[in-house]
Amino acid sequence: MGFPGTWMTESESVVYRVVPKCACSTIGQIMFYSDHGQFFDGDIHDSTKGLHKWAQEVSQPIIEHNVKSHKSYAFTCVRNPYTRILSSFFDKICGIQRNGKRYRGNLVPMLIQKYGIEVGGDDGKQEFDQIASFRRFLLFTRDTIRFKKPMEPDIHWSAMAGHISTFIVNGGRYDHVFFTEKFNDGMQVVLNNIAPKHPVVLKDIPRFNESEGHGPKRLHPVEDYFDDLSMHLMWEIYKRDFQLFKYDFENPANKMPLSEVDLDEVHAKLGD
């Protein structure tokens, strides 16, 4: 299986396990900049050189050798499950993607037909009941994750623990797991532990939010989207994410983690 979703600087200064919807665009650009002294021109997910990625066949043996020998500092970044799934909904389901089309072709029409979801019309800009549609999307998310129907779960809403575990199960070990909500603090720890070719001053780094502007703006506070049933579904889908990454399940309004991540616990519980 190897190390899917793993990126590494060409200088092998640092290794990163991508978790979708968790500041991955910004992290990738920081890694690119740390080697080349400039940002990648475009969405870092589209880069095919300048950064080792598991999806690039030529990079695979280099990444595998590095990770299995723990040659470089390795990290990942997590996010509150409530805000992460909302972001996935507004970006991937309601939004028009970079190519000018809907995400995954017939996915949205299928959701409209089978789950009664509204997405704001053809351009995603018309008014619709965001709360009702999101809750129906959450039911679909549960169906994909629990029953793999009507499709396999998508990387943007599959649990963070699943992404993070592949790295451990296949022989990797993390040195740091930090929070999107405390991005500069967490990323600074990474930078303090590596020797980048080009120094990175985090306060000067723009946020590369590649999903911003794809879809309609969220009109309500996070907690308004989650009634009792929605929270029950969130626990069913993301229980491990809440527990391992220390987020507040009881209060969707609190996006901040309750404590730091326990790395030993993460490796013990995700390593089997």
pLDDT, tens digit, 9 for 90 and up, residues 93-150: 998 887 888 999 899 999 999 999 999 888 777 899 999 999 999 999 999 999 999 9
Q: Do 156 and 21 form a contact (C-beta atoms < 8 A)?
A: yes
What's the pLDDT at 121?
83
Q: What is the C-alpha to C-alpha distance for residues 256 and 96, in angstroms, rounded to an integer?
A: 29
pLDDT < 70: residue spans in the chain: 210-214
The predicted pLDDT at position 4 comes to 97
DSSP labels, 199-236: ---GGGPPP--TTTTSSPPP-S-GGGG--HHHHHHHHH
pLDDT at 211: 62
The answer to whether 34 touches 9, Cβ cutoff 8 Å, is: yes
pLDDT value at residue 117:
96
In this prediction, residue 123 carries a pLDDT of 77
| pLDDT score of 216 | 86
CA distance readout (Å), 133 to 21, 62, 215: 20, 44, 14
Q: Locate tokens 């209060």: which residue?
A: 251
Distance, CA of 28 to CA of 8 (rounded, Å): 9
pLDDT at position 218, please?
A: 92
CB-based contacts of 256, cutoff 8 Å, min separation 6: 80, 179, 181, 182, 248
Q: Which residue has the tokens 């040659």?
A: 71
Assessment of whether the complete model's pTM goes beyond 0.75: yes
Specify the pLDDT at position 210.
63
pLDDT at site 126: 85
| Residue 96: predicted pLDDT | 84
